[in-house]
């Protein structure tokens, strides 16, 4: 039930009161932050036990670099999941876009900027195709994107049939290097901060307000006069944009392309969204949770690596950990619910 039903003081809502309501209404997001914190502590001590020193800037840089592709894909996935849909084509778009970038990008500044923009456009276009089929064709997102996933995978093979290509070093430095003058601040961390700022702006747009409304109840949203069809289309377009960005980032971090290695991001993006406390039924959660979820997923991998579990079994343990994490968050959520 409600956190409280005490009548509000007229016209004034204190910071504390707002915070109390916000946290009571966003338990899953807070839980995922808690899980992330717990993993970070675990990682910290395992690292010291193994390396005899505390993790430093190098570890920070590689961790954020390795996470950001999943993070971007998960941000895109979140846009669609918040409307109550799902986007299975995320992996296909990453296949396609990272291959495109590796094949076409030259070393000139013009080429780097131009091809980067084309890659983002390609991703957005692919997302819009999904959106057109879902919003105007009134097809189910899962059906549409399972089909376009294979199509985009096919296009990726057309673009580049074996791993290869080249991303200019300057590009790689920009996305995954550090800024020496700012104490070797990782560029990817700056990018992460920009993503957070971007979402803070985005969630104040009428578009995202409608996105949540659709996820809550599409019929009610329509009766309220919300532009349901257009918003659905835009959600998929945005998902494609983020997937394209993820593809670009993936290529630059690897300094080359691979037309099939993007596939895994379909499932990891969904896992990140779930771990980040976004409801698969739509309408509840924050896209920031998707970023948190991406970090949780990656930290799980690193922690498993440190525990020296046989490489063959990491997938198995990652899966087990996922289940444990989800079960734990559900249990804690129920306990909190009962406590009130």
Question: Minimal CA–CA distance to 126: which of 103, 104, 150, 106?
Answer: 150
Of 72-80, 124-132, 210-218, 258-266: span binding another protein (CB under 8 A): 210-218
Does 308 sit near another protein (CB under 8 A)?
no
Does 336 sit near another protein (CB under 8 A)?
no
SS3 for 178? strand
Does 339 sit near another protein (CB under 8 A)?
no
Among 79, 129, 192, 213, binds another protein (CB under 8 A): 213
Among 49, 52, 180, 223, binds another protein (CB under 8 A): 223
Among 119, 128, 191, 284, binds another protein (CB under 8 A): 284
Q: How far is the CB of 138 from another protein (least distance, A)?
A: 15
Complex with another protein: residue 167 or 213, whichever CB lies closer: 213
Of 38-46, 114-122, 129-137, 217-225: span binding another protein (CB under 8 A): 217-225
Complex with another protein: residue 27 or 38, whichever CB lies closer: 27
| Rounded CA separation 118/294 (Å) | 26
Report in angstroms the alpha-carbon separations of 136 from 83, 92, 93, 228: 15, 22, 21, 10
DSSP string, 147-166: HHHHHHHHHHHHH-SSSB--
Q: How far is the CB of 276 from another protein (least distance, A)?
A: 16
Question: Minimal CA–CA distance to 84: which of 221, 240, 203?
Answer: 221
Does 335 sit near another protein (CB under 8 A)?
no
Among 18, 106, 158, 169, binds another protein (CB under 8 A): 18
Does 108 sit near another protein (CB under 8 A)?
no
Does 306 sit near another protein (CB under 8 A)?
no
Does 21 sit near another protein (CB under 8 A)?
yes
Residue with tokens 């998902």: 239
Q: How far is the CB of 221 from another protein (least distance, A)?
A: 7
**Are 199 and 79 a contacting pair, CB within 8 Å?**
no
Beta strands per DSSP E along the chain: 178-179, 185-186
DSSP string, 75-120: HHHHHHHHTT---TTHHHHHHHHHHHHHHH--SSHHHHHHHHHHHH
Q: Tokens in use for 267?
A: 């499932």
| Rounded CA separation 191/175 (Å) | 8
CA torsion 289-293-299-304 (nearest 10°) is 150
Does 10 sit near another protein (CB under 8 A)?
yes
Among 33, 38, 189, 222, binds another protein (CB under 8 A): 222
For 222, other C-beta atoms within 10 Å of its C-beta total 14
Does 7 sit near another protein (CB under 8 A)?
yes
| Degrees to nearest 5, angle at CA 265 with 74 and 233 | 55
Complex with another protein: residue 168 or 283, whichever CB lies closer: 283
The mark string for 37-76 relative to another protein (x by CB under 8 A, - otherwise) is ----------------------------------------
The mark string for 111-150 relative to another protein (x by CB under 8 A, - otherwise) is ----------------------------------------
| Rounded CA separation 38/51 (Å) | 20
Does 230 sit near another protein (CB under 8 A)?
no
Residues that bind another protein (CB under 8 A): 1-8, 10-13, 17-18, 21, 25, 201, 203-206, 209, 212-213, 216-217, 219-227, 283-284
């Amino acid at each position: 039930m409600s956190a409280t039903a005490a009548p509000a003081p007229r016209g004034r809502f204190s910071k504390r009161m707002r915070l109390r309501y916000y946290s009571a209404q966003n338990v899953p997001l807070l839980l995922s932050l808690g899980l992330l914190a717990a993993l970070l502590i675990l990682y910290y001590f395992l690292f010291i036990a193994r390396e005899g020193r505390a993790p430093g800037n190098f570890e920070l840089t590689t961790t954020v670099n390795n996470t950001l592709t999943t993070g971007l894909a998960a941000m895109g996935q979140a846009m669609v999941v918040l409307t109550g849909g799902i986007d299975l084509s995320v992996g296909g778009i990453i296949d396609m876009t990272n291959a495109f970038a590796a094949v076409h990008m030259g070393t000139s500044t013009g080429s780097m900027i131009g091809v980067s923009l084309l890659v983002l456009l390609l991703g957005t276009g692919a997302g819009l195709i999904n959106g057109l089929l879902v919003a105007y064709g009134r097809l189910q997102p899962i059906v549409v994107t399972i089909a376009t996933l294979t199509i985009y995978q096919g296009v990726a093979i057309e673009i580049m049939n074996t791993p290869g290509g080249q991303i200019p070093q300057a590009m790689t430095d920009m996305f995954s290097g550090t800024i020496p003058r700012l104490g070797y601040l990782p560029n990817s961390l700056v990018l992460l901060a920009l993503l957070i700022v971007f979402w803070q702006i985005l969630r104040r747009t009428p578009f995202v307000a409608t996105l949540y409304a659709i996820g809550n109840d599409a019929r009610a949203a329509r009766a309220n006069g919300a532009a349901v069809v257009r918003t659905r289309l835009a959600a998929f377009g945005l998902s494609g944009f983020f997937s394209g960005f993820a593809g670009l980032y993936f290529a630059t971090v690897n300094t080359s392309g691979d037309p099939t290695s993007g596939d895994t991001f379909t499932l990891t993006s969904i896992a990140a969204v779930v771990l980040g406390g976004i409801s698969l039924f739509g309408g509840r959660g924050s896209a920031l949770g998707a970023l948190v979820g991406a970090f949780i997923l990656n930290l799980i991998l690193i922690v498993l690596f440190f525990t020296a579990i046989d490489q063959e079994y990491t997938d198995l343990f990652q899966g087990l950990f996922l289940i444990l994490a989800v079960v734990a968050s559900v249990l804690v959520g129920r306990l909190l619910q009962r406590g009130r």
